[in-house]
């Protein structure tokens, strides 16, 4: 089932992303979320989805509180081709934990619809470089994990040793701005506003990596598995209604 907003969004996603060379996907995804992520257009789309358009049962099964600390609501599931989600980031102090540095399985783009988001980019420091540059230039020590998904969909973390990461870029994205990243780009993001921040997030591309890399501060070993708790359909639709009101301002 689909209304006008849902049908137009599907056409845009398919036309912009399907059969696109991998090298062009970050730019194409960025242009797509910028077009769909205006408050007026996204609010109308959310209200249509909240009324039952699209695939509420399928999307609810993949909507939950993400382990990295934000609420994740799937809007369109394009299978291996693309996934469009709304993320709700909570003000500082309301996160379950600071977001880990990580990369992704496929190219992505994110558009800030409301609020503001901070982001840091990192690069891995080759062995021996830390000694040459000293404690600051050598980056920060982290524990590397390989994150994958169990058949049941839960997060699995496998420790893969230590790594040093160096901060390369810090940015702040206000409403109406966004960014695109290649799959291997290491980053972390957080809400910088005093109110919830809403982003429209798009992963694109049929060639997805089987896992991502997660880098955590040294400390107690992370749990090897974290269960996902998908939203019931009724709760999912209620969350979309509340999100539409938030986007409308």
| The residue to which tokens 């893969």 are assigned | 160
The band of 67, judged by pLDDT with boundaries at 50, 70 and 90, is low
**d(C-alpha 78, C-alpha 58), whole Å:** 11
DSSP string over 167-230: EEEEEEEETT-EEEE-TT-EEEEEE-SSS-EEEEEEEE-S---S-EEEEE-SSSPPPSEE---P
Residue-wise pLDDT tens digits, 15-43: 999 888 888 999 999 999 999 999 999 99
Compute the half-sphere exposure of residue 137: CA atoms within 13 Å on the CB side of its CA: 7
The partner residues of 162 in beta bridges, in order of sequence, read 143
Task: Place domain 4-248 in its CATH homologous superfamily.
Answer: Jelly Rolls (2.60.120.10)
What confidence score (pLDDT) does residue 104 get?
93
What confidence score (pLDDT) does residue 151 get?
67
**Residue 165 reports pLDDT greater than 70:** yes
Give how far Cα 181 sits from Cα of 76, 102, 132, Å. Answer: 20, 12, 30
Could you tell me the residue ranges of all domains in the chain?
A: 4-248
Which 3 state secondary structure label does DSSP give 73? strand
**d(C-alpha 181, C-alpha 51), whole Å:** 33
| The residue to which tokens 């992505």 are assigned | 108
pTM of the model as a whole: 0.89
């Amino acid at each position: 089932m689909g209304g006008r907003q849902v049908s137009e969004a599907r056409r845009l996603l398919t036309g912009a992303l399907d059969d696109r060379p991998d090298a062009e996907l970050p730019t194409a995804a960025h242009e797509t979320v910028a077009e769909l992520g205006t408050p007026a257009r996204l609010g109308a789309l959310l209200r249509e989805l909240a009324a039952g358009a699209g695939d509420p049962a399928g999307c609810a099964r993949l909507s939950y509180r993400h382990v990295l600390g934000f609420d994740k609501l799937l809007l369109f599931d394009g299978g291996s081709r693309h996934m469009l989600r709304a993320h709700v980031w909570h003000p500082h102090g309301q996160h379950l934990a600071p977001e880990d540095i990580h990369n992704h399985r496929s190219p992505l783009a994110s558009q800030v619809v409301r609020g503001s988001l901070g982001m840091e980019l990192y690069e891995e420091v080759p062995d021996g470089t830390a000694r040459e540059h000293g404690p600051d230039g050598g980056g920060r020590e982290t524990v590397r994990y390989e994150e994958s998904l169990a058949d049941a969909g839960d997060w699995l973390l496998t420790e893969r040793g230590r790594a040093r990461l160096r901060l390369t870029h810090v940015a702040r994205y206000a409403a109406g701005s966004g960014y695109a990243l290649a799959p291997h780009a290491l980053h972390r993001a957080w809400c910088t506003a005093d109110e919830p921040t809403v982003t429209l997030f798009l992963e694109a591309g049929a060639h997805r990596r089987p896992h991502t890399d997660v880098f955590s501060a040294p400390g107690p070993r992370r749990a090897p598995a974290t269960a996902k708790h998908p939203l019931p359909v009724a709760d999912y639709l209620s969350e979309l209604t509340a999100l539409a009101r938030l986007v409308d301002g």
